[in-house]
Amino acid sequence: MLFSIKKLIGFSFNDLLRSKKLNTYILFFFISLAFWFLTMLSKTHETTFRVPLKYINTPEDLMEVNKPESFVNVRVKASGISIITYHMFNYKSLILNYNIANSQPIDNGKNLFWIMNSKRKEIVDVLGTSIEIMNVNPSRVVVPFVKKNKKEVPVLLNLDISLKQAFWLANDVKLLPNSVVLYGSQHLLDSVDNIETDILILNDLDEDQTQEVNIIIPNGLRCKTKSVLVEINIEPFIEEVLINQVEIRNLIKGYSMKLFPRDVSVTVRLPKNKYQLLETNFIKLYVDASEIEEQQILQIRYDNLPSGVKIQRIYPNQLEFLLIKE
């Protein structure tokens, strides 16, 4: 019994010594590993960063032939800690913008290129001064393209409009812009003479309108303009029936003429803010006596009307006449 207890105590004590030694070994191993890791981080290393390219400001008259480079390789030299810090915090922030509009032409204008060395400062701003840029590969990025054909065509408004009673359009509906430039292959451009807008529906209007409406771009063509502005001016009007005497013009010398009837009724519409015109003889009706050899009756005509005035009806609009030799 006593032997068994001594044996058990001796075994436990030996195990304890072995366990302490093992822990010491493990501790020294991790300390050594940490020193090795810190030593490696403090040393200078070379590595390559794969940096994405983003293409911006592509002119509408250019079309890519082949897909250009999507990445460039940036060879750098830096301490291990600087490289790890970049990968942990700045890796996604480095994107190089390729401004095609500012690229330089080569190969007689058939391609564009971009010198990557000109972007070194932009790269350094993200990487920091602790990372040295050794080279950028490729040293220039080439974008193959072809010049697209273009054609300017008018825009046709697809409009469904109704106005409240006693309101009308003060002037023609305006489109801004009223024409657009299309880009694409010549055979597609030749098939297009104009482009339409989406339908614009406006009901029971009694005030001015400014609306934006999209244009419908034919398949296979491109257009920088995506929509147009529609300007509609609306105003109230009044309608009056006036009795006017008809003047005789270009009568042959030595003759007189009688018209049947001499007075006619004229239905006019004019903007409400021009009602004062009704107090004047602003409508000049006449017949042209030089037409009597060709016609048995004479058509009533009128001179230029004041702005905004519209004649809805003249009754009668033709007159019989009697030509008398003096």
In a domain, 113, yes or no: yes
Do residue 242 and residue 210 come from a single domain? no
DSSP code string of 173-209: -EEESSEEEEEE-HHHHHT-S-EEBPPEEEEEE-S-E
Domain stop point among 146, 174, 190: 146
> Is 251 in a helix, a strand, or coil?
coil
The rounded distance, in Å, linking the Cα atoms of 230 and 202 is 12
- Locate 243 and state its tokens: 């009795």
DSSP code string of 262-298: SEEEEEEEEEGGGGGGGGS----EEEEGGGTTT-SEE
Output the CA torsion 268→271→276→282 (10° steps): -40
Give residues with Cβ within 8 angstroms of 96, minimum separation 6: 51, 52, 53, 54, 72, 119, 122, 123
- Locate 82 and state its tokens: 């600087």
In a domain, 11, yes or no: no
Contact criterion met (CB below 8 Å) for 182 and 211: no
Do residue 188 and residue 269 come from a single domain? no
Domain stop point among 196, 215, 232: 232
Residue 169 maps to which CATH number?
2.170.120.40
> Is 81 in a helix, a strand, or coil?
helix
Enclosing domain of residue 114: 42-146
Q: How many domains does the chain have?
A: 3
Per-residue pLDDT tens digits of the chain, which is 326 residues long? 444 544 444 545 555 555 666 666 666 666 666 555 555 555 677 888 888 877 777 776 676 656 677 788 888 887 777 777 766 665 556 777 777 766 666 555 555 555 566 667 777 777 777 777 788 887 777 776 666 788 999 999 999 999 999 999 988 999 999 999 998 878 889 999 999 999 999 999 999 999 999 999 998 888 889 999 999 999 999 999 999 999 999 998 888 899 999 899 999 998 988 888 887 888 899 999 888 876 788 999 998 788 888 999 999 999 989 888 87
pTM for the model stands at 0.53
Do residue 141 and residue 205 come from a single domain? no
Domain stop point among 97, 122, 146: 146
Do residue 181 and residue 222 come from a single domain? yes
Residue 314 maps to which CATH number?
2.170.120.30
Q: What is residue 103's DSSP assignment?
A: P
